[in-house]
Amino acid sequence: MSVCASQILMRFVYVNSLLQQVFQVTPLNGEEWMAVMKISIPVILLDETLKFVARKYAEGQQKYYECQWIVIMWMTFFGISFVLL
């Protein structure tokens, strides 16, 4: 409920022109969105990697050779990062 309430309030601030001025809200341009992606995607990938390793360790499956999808995921991220730089 709190997540839904905060989303509704944020959208209300973004749509209402008076509240846009009060909170100094402006739309992001393409360069700013790229900065957001460059910062957030590695965090998500790292978190998913740690969850995968922890899950395998907790289940007693220490077969790290099954982690090829993690390597592919990180290679894809770095490949995209170098192309976008």
pLDDT per residue as tens digits for the range 18-62: 999 999 988 889 999 888 888 888 888 888 877 877 777 777 765
- Cα–Cα distance between 54 and 9 in angstroms, integer? 36
Statement: residue 6 has pLDDT above 70: yes
- Cα–Cα distance between 17 and 31 in angstroms, integer? 24
List the structure tokens of 9: 């309030």
Q: Do 82 and 38 touch, CB atoms closer than 8 A? A: no
Domain count, the chain: 1
- Cα–Cα distance between 62 and 78 in angstroms, integer? 26
Q: What is the pTM of this model?
A: 0.52
Reported as a pLDDT band with limits 50, 70 and 90, residue 82 is low
Residues 6+ apart with CB under 8 A from 12: 19
- Cα–Cα distance between 47 and 61 in angstroms, integer? 19
Reported as a pLDDT band with limits 50, 70 and 90, residue 3 is very high
Domain limits at 37? Answer: 2-84
